[in-house]
């Protein structure tokens, strides 16, 4: 008998309908399409979704489910072992094909390899696609055939590749199977917090494919034109704010790439050109991060540079770590960033560099502590980007900042939050501080502090470490690394 074709599309971090290669392949085959999401956090290694990430995932799955209904389909939700779940779905539905888009986290690569091998003996068509990178991470190699470890060289090699393909359009409709397999409810996954702390996130974000599209439009028609300068100013919306959408695959880098290129063509001015290139380079850093994660799979837990394995991190730093996490270090730009993170699940990239540098260099706390905190609190937490970013700041990764580059939080604040508005927004207790002192309130005359209603050590903390002392201590620690 000739049973009708049935394809399973296994959704993962690709929660969109447009430019979704696995979905497009299933739609193109003809026959029924069964979209599935499987919640299996224990398969993520040490990197199951953090709390903020779970909140986003819930909203995004909800959105995807509705959009699939719009195509005459639906999203089947399951929890449990991925392989076992897929096998039982194949059995229940008689599916003869299964498609998904690749992920690049080491534990997931390993899992998916096994799944692919196993399912090949069960169904006729098993195929994975590249849906989340502009360039397949393993295809970029230097002349010796080794992975790149320097961004500029990596990106130059990427730019010599064929331009990323044009985005695929969304299927118009998806044929349903005769009978749908069972689905759990989204609520049953318990992704949302029990105590509702997500108010700030709901205000700032709209998870899902439409939210992503809207944000892209907002960016390409706005901040993108001044990105080269605007991206460093945290008190305005000068960055794309696409990172969580990208992480969950609500939008693909290819869609972004071509949207920017199109705007470049329309604008045709040198200034826009430069800003657009600067932004595309940031997509390049994302590519580089994935490239490194694939080729150096141990880097989420181990420094890429051997000599940092025995780095003399400060002992007994629990109190200091907590001050940093809660935005109570006494350095306004650092605290503002940490509070923005806590409130919105996101932090401006310039400020990420400052707070990360502060943790690793001023407090001499292991970068992995910072990475873990970001992992739990960021809505855009992404193993490749998080790992690259922290190792870059700590100086122990690829193309890393030399260790002796130590941000001065006061100077960085004055340079990039010139008017102090970013600090005032996130640290209300400093609202009345004059701009002159806002990035270093301890330098203000007592009269100014009184007038602003600030009592250092009471209403706002005094600096938990002295900058000069901390800088010298960090440089001394570097000496130990260099000796080896």
Partner DNA sequence: TGAAATGTTGGGGCG
Partner DNA sequence: ACGCCCCAACATTTC
**Region from 37-45, 209-217, 365-373, 409-417 binding DNA, contact rule CB under 7 A:** 409-417
Output 65 or 234, the one with its CB closest to DNA: 234
CB 73 within 8 A of CB 176: yes
Q: Is 426 a catalytic residue?
A: no
Smallest distance, Å, CB 480 to DNA?
12
Determine, following the binding rule CB under 7 A, whether residue 254 of this chain makes contact with DNA: no
Interatomic CA distance for residues 381 and 138, integer angstroms:
22
Q: CA dihedral defined by 309, 310, 312, 313, rounded to 10 degrees? A: 40
Determine, following the binding rule CB under 7 A, whether residue 278 of this chain makes contact with DNA: no
* DSSP H helical ranges for 104-208: 106-120, 151-160, 199-204
Q: Is 313 a catalytic residue?
A: yes
Output the CA–CA distances (angstroms, integers) from residue 340 to 27, 201, 244, 303, 326, in the order listed: 42, 10, 15, 28, 10
Determine, following the binding rule CB under 7 A, whether residue 305 of this chain makes contact with DNA: no
Determine, following the binding rule CB under 7 A, whether residue 388 of this chain makes contact with DNA: no
With CB under 7 A as the contact rule, the residue among 415, 425, 431, 473 that binds DNA is 415
Q: Is 367 a catalytic residue?
A: yes
Instruction: Pick the catalytic residue from 39, 155, 257, 367.
Output: 367
Output 201 or 304, the one with its CB closest to DNA: 304
**Region from 6-14, 120-128, 255-263, 406-414 binding DNA, contact rule CB under 7 A:** 406-414
CB 140 within 8 A of CB 294: no
Handedness of CA 433, 437, 440, 446 (dihedral sign): negative
Interatomic CA distance for residues 379 and 344, integer angstroms:
8
Output 27 or 406, the one with its CB closest to DNA: 406
Determine, following the binding rule CB under 7 A, whether residue 408 of this chain makes contact with DNA: yes
Output 84 or 411, the one with its CB closest to DNA: 411
Determine, following the binding rule CB under 7 A, whether residue 398 of this chain makes contact with DNA: no
Q: Which of residues 203-232 bind DNA (CB under 7 A)?
A: none
Q: Is 349 a catalytic residue?
A: yes
Interatomic CA distance for residues 393 and 192, integer angstroms:
32
Dump the DSSP string for 67-105: HHHHTT---EEEES-HHHHHHHHHHHHT--EEEEE----
Residue 302 φ/ψ, nearest 5 degrees: -125, 140
**Region from 173-181, 264-272, 376-384, 401-409 binding DNA, contact rule CB under 7 A:** 401-409
Output 215 or 412, the one with its CB closest to DNA: 412
CB 93 within 8 A of CB 34: yes
Cβ-based neighbours of 16, under 8 Å, separated by 6 or more: 64, 209, 212, 249, 250, 251, 252
Q: Which of residues 334-363 bind DNA (CB under 7 A)?
A: 349-350, 353
Smallest distance, Å, CB 10 to DNA?
33
Output 15 or 353, the one with its CB closest to DNA: 353
Smallest distance, Å, CB 262 to DNA?
24
How far is CA 33 from its chain centroid? 30
CB 20 within 8 A of CB 67: no
Determine, following the binding rule CB under 7 A, whether residue 151 of this chain makes contact with DNA: yes
Smallest distance, Å, CB 223 to DNA?
16
With CB under 7 A as the contact rule, the residue among 107, 157, 267, 401 that binds DNA is 401
Determine, following the binding rule CB under 7 A, whether residue 402 of this chain makes contact with DNA: yes
Catalytic residues: 282, 285, 313, 349, 367, 390
Query: Which residues are near DNA by CB under 7 A?
Result: 151, 282, 285, 349-350, 353, 401-402, 404-408, 411-412, 415, 467, 471, 475
């Amino acid at each position: 008998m000739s049973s009708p074709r049935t394809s399973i599309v296994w959704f993962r971090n690709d929660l969109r309908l447009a430019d979704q290669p696995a979905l497009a392949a299933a739609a193109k085959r003809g026959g029924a399409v069964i979209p599935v999401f499987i919640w299996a956090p224990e398969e993520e290694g040490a990197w199951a979704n953090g709390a903020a990430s779970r909140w986003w995932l819930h909203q995004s799955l909800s959105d995807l489910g509705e959009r699939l209904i719009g195509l005459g389909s639906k999203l089947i939700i399951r929890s449990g072992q991925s392989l076992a779940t897929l096998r039982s779905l194949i059995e229940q539905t008689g599916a003869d094909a299964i498609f998904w888009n690749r992920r690049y986290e080491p534990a997931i690569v390993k899992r998916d390899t096994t799944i692919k091998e196993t399912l090949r003996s069960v169904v006729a068509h098993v195929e994975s696609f590249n849906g989340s990178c502009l360039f397949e991470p393993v295809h970029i190699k230097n002349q010796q055939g080794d992975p790149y470890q320097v961004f500029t060289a990596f990106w130059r090699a990427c730019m010599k590749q064929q331009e990323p393909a044009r985005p695929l359009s969304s299927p118009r409709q998806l044929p349903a199977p005769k009978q749908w397999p069972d689905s759990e409810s989204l609520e049953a996954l318990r992704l949302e917090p029990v105590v509702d702390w997500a108010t700030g996130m709901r205000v700032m974000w709209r998870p899902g494919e439409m939210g992503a599209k809207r944000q892209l439009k907002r960016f390409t028609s706005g901040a993108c034109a001044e990105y080269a300068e605007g991206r460093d100013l945290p008190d305005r919306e000068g960055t794309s704010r696409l990172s969580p959408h990208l992480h969950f695959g609500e939008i693909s880098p290819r869609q972004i790439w071509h949207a920017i290129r199109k705007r470049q063509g329309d604008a045709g001015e040198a200034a826009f050109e430069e800003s657009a290139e600067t932004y595309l380079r940031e997509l390049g850093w994302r590519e580089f991060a994935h490239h490194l994660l694939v080729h150096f799979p141990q880097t989420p837990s181990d420094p890429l540079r051997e000599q940092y394995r025995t780095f003399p991190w400060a002992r007994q730093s629990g109190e200091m770590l907590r001050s940093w996490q809660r935005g109570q270090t006494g350095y306004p730009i650092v605290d503002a960033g940490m509070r923005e993170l806590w409130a919105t699940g996101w932090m401006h990239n310039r400020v990420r560099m400052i707070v990360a540098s502060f943790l690793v260099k001023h407090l001499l706390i292991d970068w992995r502590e910072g990475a873990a905190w970001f992992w739990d609190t960021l809505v855009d937490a992404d193993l490749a980007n998080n790992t690259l970013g922290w190792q870059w700041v700590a100086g122990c990764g690829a193309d890393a900042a030399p260790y002796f580059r130590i941000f001065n939080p006061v100077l960085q604040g004055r340079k990039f939050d010139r008017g102090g508005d970013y600090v005032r927004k996130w640290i209300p207790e400093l609202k009345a501080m004059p701009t002159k002192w806002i990035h270093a309130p301890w330098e203000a005359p007592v009269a100014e502090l009184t007038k602003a209603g600030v009592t250092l050590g009471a209403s706002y903390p005094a600096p938990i470490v002295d900058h000069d002392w901390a800088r010298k201590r960090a440089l001394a620690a570097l000496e130990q690394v260099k000796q080896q």
